[in-house]
Amino acid sequence: MRRLALIIIPYAWLLALFLVPFIIVLKISLSDTALSIPPYTPTLDFSAGWVGIKDFFGNLDFENFEFLTTDDLYWKAYLSSLKIAFVATVLTLLVGYPIAYGMANAPDHWRPTLMMLIILPFWTSFLIRVYSWMGILSNEGYLNQLLLSLGVISEPLTILNTNTAVYIGIVYTYLPFMILPIYSALERLDASLLEAAEDLGCSRFTAFWLVTIPLSKSGIIAGCFLVFIPTLGEFVIPSLLGGSKTLMIGKVLWEEFFNNRDWPVASAVAVILLLILIVPIILFQRNEQKQREAEG
């Protein structure tokens, strides 16, 4: 009974917060747009009995999914989101790995302080942090003022409302999710392995490439998944920092729901996005399982 209770709790959580909402969204994606409340038909009416249930399922169709294949906006949004998420993940890895490496090699009494500095941004609202970058990256922002005062540039740079601003916002926001798993992997690294590699003739760089990188692979994979998966459906950062020219599927979802009030098409977009996300989620879970088996 104790084991059953431990199993039921997470499955009940997934049922209530994932499976049931997904079924609702899937049902809406198979409906038709209507000028009503809610803005779609058909709706399930139990008062009509079995006939009403039969009519309800009979009126569901896949027209919204077929519509997504006829409009270039949607598949371009998916491809653009995949590209931005991939590039942002690589940039976050390039920035985060040296920081995690420095933390792992810092003296023991400095590590808690460095860890606190990494977690410190989470104490501030995510929305406020993104808004702060608008003040930094705008034409009259602090970054341009600094560069102009130093004589590096002669006129303000246009960074806000570009993909560059989106990459900066994503890297800054999700950097802790990359640093922490890599730091956890590097902290467990046996320093004697590096000494043995150097004794066998390897330079420091070669020992780092042949020993440190492979042994920290689990942290790299976990960090990349933790950045890529939420970035793919990101909405706030591209909306505030990217402007109208940045095309991501999260923005398309918001416009379909709230501007066009086309809930069925928006739900179809969300269902496809979830199906795309299932692949990295499954790969992430398999990587975590292999890591646990290796440690066990």
Residue 270, domain CATH:
1.10.3720.10
Q: Does residue 27 lie within any of the structural domains? A: no
State the pLDDT at residue 71.
Answer: 85
CA 154 to chain CA centroid, Å, is 36
Q: Does residue 143 lie within any of the structural domains? A: yes
Smallest CA-to-CA distance from 100 within 188, 196, 6 is with 188
What are phi and psi for residue 291, nearest 5 degrees?
A: -65, -40
Reading the block at residue 155, the tokens are 């006129």
pTM of the full structure: 0.86
Total domain count, the chain: 1
**What distance in Å separates the CA atoms of residue 85 and residue 92, rounded to the nearest whole number?**
10
Q: Does residue 20 lie within any of the structural domains? A: no
Q: Omega before 10 cis (within 30°)?
A: no
User: What parts of the chain have a pLDDT lower than 50?
Assistant: none
State the pLDDT at residue 172.
Answer: 94
**What distance in Å separates the CA atoms of residue 25 and residue 264, rounded to the nearest whole number?**
8
Q: Does residue 116 lie within any of the structural domains? A: yes
State the pLDDT at residue 5.
Answer: 77
Q: Are 288 and 236 in contact (CB under 8 A)?
A: no
**What distance in Å separates the CA atoms of residue 30 and residue 267, rounded to the nearest whole number?**
9
Q: Does residue 97 lie within any of the structural domains? A: yes
Q: Does residue 66 lie within any of the structural domains? A: no
State the pLDDT at residue 46.
Answer: 66
**What distance in Å separates the CA atoms of residue 162 and residue 243, rounded to the nearest whole number?**
7
208: domain range? 71-295
Residues present in the chain in total: 296
Q: Does residue 65 lie within any of the structural domains? A: no
Smallest CA-to-CA distance from 121 within 165, 174, 72 is with 174
pLDDT, tens digit (0-9, with 9 covering 90-100), for 27-46: 999 998 888 778 888 887 76
Measured at the CA of 165, the angle between CA 160 and CA 169, to 5 degrees, comes to 130
CA 44 to chain CA centroid, Å, is 34
State the pLDDT at residue 224.
Answer: 92
Q: Are 109 and 166 in contact (CB under 8 A)?
A: no
Q: Does residue 153 lie within any of the structural domains? A: yes
